[in-house]
Amino acid sequence: MNSQTQTFQLADDGQIPNNPDLPVIIYKAVFKEQPDEIEAAFNRHQWTGSWTGGVYDYHHYHSNTHEVLGVKAGQATVLIGGDQGERLDLHQGDVILLPAGTGHKNAESSPDFEVVGAYPGGTSPNMKKKDPSDRVQALAEIKNVPVPQTDPVYGDEGPMLEEWKE
């Protein structure tokens, strides 16, 4: 596996908290030649509770867990971090690692777009939307989500272990 990785930090936009400490990590084309290996790799590295499907077409985030998404088929433009966030063009074989609190939504996608999602230790994600009444609790939960022990793509090494320091 070889990939180019990109990272970027997102600010709280007042509606979507994002993560104040941990950057989003993108692994470009890491599974380009073997998209069917995505789920097995995540699971092997203790990122479980996996599912296959799409990305919701509205902003949402999880305040109780990090999430990894691997593009199994097709391509999409995903908006990360809220309305003023980053627009990412994701293609088959790309993986995006979203720290707890990071907003994400599908802006547009090909008809065959499909991702594999998973969570460290199989945590069941909660579903948060732009709701000011949830905000204080969500911010507290985000700060308490531990950094996982393993990178979802590379296991005991990899960019997550370098970028996500507690």
Looking at 54-150, which runs of residues are DSSP E strands?
67-73, 75-80, 86-91, 95-98, 104-109, 114-120
Q: Does 113 map to a domain?
A: yes
pLDDT in tens, 59-102: 999 999 999 999 999 999 999 999 999 999 999 999 999 999 99
pLDDT digits (tens, 9 = 90+) for 122-156: 999 999 998 888 888 999 999 999 999 999 999 99
The number of beta carbons lying within 10 Å of the beta carbon of residue 36 is 10
Cα dihedral 15, 19, 21, 23, rounded to 10, equals: -120
pLDDT-derived band at 3 (thresholds 50, 70, 90) equals low
Residue 114 is predicted with a pLDDT of 98
Q: Is residue 18 part of a domain?
A: yes
In a domain, 48, yes or no: yes
Res 1 pLDDT > 80: no
Do the domain assignments include residue 164?
no
Domain hosting residue 104, numbered range: 4-146
Number of domains in the chain: 1
**Whole-prediction pTM value?**
0.96
Q: Is 154 a domain residue?
A: no
The percentage of residues in the chain with a pLDDT greater than 90, rounded to a whole number, is 90
Residue 155 counted as domain residue: no
Domain for residue 68, yes or no? yes
Residue 111 pLDDT class (50, 70, 90 cuts): very high
CATH number of 104's domain: 2.60.120.10
